[in-house]
Amino acid sequence: MNTSPDVRKNLGEVFRQGGARALLIDLSGVRYMDSSGIATLVEAMQNCMKRGMRLRLVALSPPVRDVFELARLASVFEIFPGVNEATTGL
Amino acid sequence: MTGTDGPYGLNSVTLTVPSQPKYLYIVRSALYPLLLGAGFGKRDARRIVLAVDEACSNIIRHAYEEDPSGTITVTATDAAGQFTVRLRDYGRKADPSSIAPRNLEDVRPGGLGTHFMGQVFDTVTYDTSEGEGTLLILEKKKQQVKA
């Protein structure tokens, strides 16, 4: 809840710049996420869909993956263990 | 933060934080070792911490409507076969009839906090009977503790 506004602002800048086919979000440095963080990523996914972009999430730590499972969103997002795997097929 | 022999007994810890998101890490940091000490595994402890964090966020959003001058008093009690977290605020009273987890099939931002609380805790009780604000009581039976 504390950092989501900053993340949302940065993502907004990415979408304003446009021109990308895919957005990869590396979550390897994230050790804690609440529903506000999930909401931010759901918004990002919806923005990507509107623009015909792929959204791929990379390197979820066990606590972060746990939140996705609690929210039953683990199957909604494209989730990859590392950047190399996430860039395959783009 | 105090250990107390007050109304909830010797196995209780109480702390009070301002109604600001930046202070919620104090609640999370205090709860996690208490839960491990109570016998919960790391995964269950993480989930309980998340659910309490969500409850605090809801208090900041809905009871205090982002007013940073309020307080949230958290009392964690490890006793009688269950772990209980009581969250006391003095903001706008909760209306339990209007609080419901959203349909998870509807993938959209927001509304997950109540779902997390209901999924993690055995009982979630909103007590608005005393004075201002709400006492939210979250209870988890310890026989459901997983290694």
Predicted-complex ipTM score:
0.77
Q: How close A74 gets to chain B, by Cα (Å)?
A: 12
Sheet with A22-26: strands ordered across: A22-26, A54-58, A78-80
Q: Report the C-alpha gap between B129 and A1 in whole angstroms.
A: 29
The alpha-carbon radius of gyration of chain B (Å, integer) is 15
Count CB atoms within 10 A of the CB of residue A7. 17
pTM of this structure:
0.85
Q: Report the C-alpha gap between A42 and B111 in whole angstroms.
A: 12
Nearest CA in chain B to A46: B108
- The end-to-end CA distance of chain A, in Å, is 32
Q: Which of B17, B50, B54 to mutate to test the interface with A (most CBs of A within 10 A)?
A: B50
Of A34, A71, A76, the CB nearest to B57: A34
pLDDT tens digits along B2-11: 665 566 767 8
Count CB atoms within 10 A of the CB of residue B86. 20
pLDDT tens digits along B50-103: 999 999 999 999 999 999 999 999 999 998 789 999 999 999 999 887 876 666
CATH of residue B91: 3.30.565.10
Residue B99: closest CA among B119, B88, B113, B78: B113
Q: Output helix, strand, coil percentages for chain A, rounded to the nearest 5.
A: 50, 15, 35
Q: How close A23 gets to chain B, by Cα (Å)?
A: 18
Q: How many CB pairs under 8 A join A and B?
A: 54
* B137: its two tokens: 């009581």
How far is CA A57 from each of CA A37, A44, A51, B65, B102, rounded to the nearest angstrom?
13, 11, 17, 32, 24
pLDDT tens digits along B39-65: 999 999 999 999 999 999 999 999 999
Residue range(s) defining the domain that contains residue B74: 2-144
Contact A24, A56 (CB under 8 A): yes
Q: Report the C-alpha gap between A3 and A1 in whole angstroms.
A: 6
Q: What are phi and psi of B124, to 5 degrees?
A: -130, 115
Q: Domain tally for chain B? A: 1
Q: State residue B147's pLDDT score.
A: 45
pLDDT tens digits along B9-26: 678 999 999 999 999 999
For the segment A59-87, the average pLDDT, to the nearest whole number, is: 92
Q: What are phi and psi of A4, to 5 degrees?
A: -55, -40
**CB atoms B50 and A34 under 8 Å:** yes
Of A2, A46, A73, the CB nearest to B21: A2
